[in-house]
Chain A
Amino acid sequence: MRSRQVGFLLFVVAMLAGWWVITAGSLSYFEEGLSHPFLHEKEGLAHEELYLVVLQAHVVSAVWSLPACVLLPSRRLLRAMPRVHRWVGRITAFVVLCGLVPSGAWLSFSAKGGALGTLGFLLSGGIVAFAMVRGVRAAITRDFVAHRRWMLHVGAQLSVAVSSRALLIAFAAFGVDEIVAYLVALWVPVVASAVLAEWIAAPASTPLRGVSCKDTEQVQAPASSERKDNESFKPLAVSLDPAR
């Protein structure tokens, strides 16, 4: 197993473990309602009940979106069940664009850390929305290299939910000021995830940039010089093979 595959596997396991813990903890938003300490922190909210509803909508959207975006890039899943990939992808795009991003954007205006906190969440949400729209358009035009690249950005930004919380715990253990810790634990994962996603996607997308899968259906065996870079493209071509 290549180191990149091992890295991806570890990332998926960490994200799913984080998702599980966050989901279990998020049940309290439904059980405790307005008496939840997260709302106690937001004292002075103009529309406390609306805030809770939006927060719950955000939680539900995230509970679906994070594992979906972490698992959908799986080549194994794509090879085995391309139809499942397509339908889960469509549902996820809808949930992200109509639920996760709008609710997150609204919540960001009450975020801890003032304007920097708001800006950090808006940046992350903006990347998610932009990348999701581009990714969906790429899938529609059957440009699967670009699709993979944009969806990597979506998954990377959603992973901020886990990495950010892990950083918050680490900062608390070292006694870092709460607001400073909150902002650093937000901005560092947002920027790092965007850079990392672009870095991972770049080698695969560069040689085939502008080449749609319509073209590559005839180019199932890429030129030997490009073969290595295009490995991530293989399952996409495979999934389009009518024999499968």
Chain B
Amino acid sequence: MKVSSLLLSLSILLVSGTTYAGMESDVSQLVKKALLKPLAQHENQRSRFSRVAMPPAARQVRVLEGGPKKDPQGRTFIRFAVDEKRFKGWSQNAIVGCAYPDEGAVFIQRGETVQSAAQYLGEEGPATTTECTAATVSSNR
């Protein structure tokens, strides 16, 4: 009896761990697709003869601690940060936001406001309401 309950708990743990790891991977892919690739394209088209900071050498997505959360509308989201590699090394939290893996949506935290990845890139995007509210995502920039 003891052994079976132990095995059951262990398998539940393993499954939930695998699910969360899979979710992390999904978020990473989602952020790359919705934000980082278009952002890199924009940067490639932009003139370097400008006071705007040069594009970083590399970017990586990092899922922040705390795991999946629910917003006031009951939708699941995961907080993420984008780290940028510049001359001296990696600078953390260059971009902070949250991703909704079920809906394939990415939102960026800018100060007190949140905007969709599309809006961040200067395109038309859905208006934000309660997505990764300020209370749940804090910017370290």
Contacts and interface: CB of A to CB of B under 8 A. Distances in A.
Say which size band chain A's interface belongs to: 20 to 34
B86 A33 contact: no
**Which of A18, A40, A44 counts the most chain B CB atoms within 10 A?**
A40
A22 B50 CA distance: 7
A241 B31 CA distance: 70
- Give the 7 A-B residue pairs with the shortest CB-CB distance, closest first: A25-B47, A35-B122, A32-B122, A21-B49, A172-B54, A175-B87, A38-B52
A223 B43 CA distance: 60
Given A176-B87, A177-B87, A178-B54, A169 B111 contact: no
A175 B86 CA distance: 9
Interface of A: 18, 21-22, 24-25, 28, 31-33, 35-38, 40-41, 43-45, 112, 164-166, 168-169, 172, 175-178, 182
B71 to A, nearest CB: 22
A40 B111 CA distance: 10
B33 interface: no
A36 B122 contact: yes
Nearest to A185: B51
A45 B141 CA distance: 13
Given A21-B49, A22-B49, A178-B54, A35 B119 contact: yes
Nearest to A186: B51
B69 interface: no
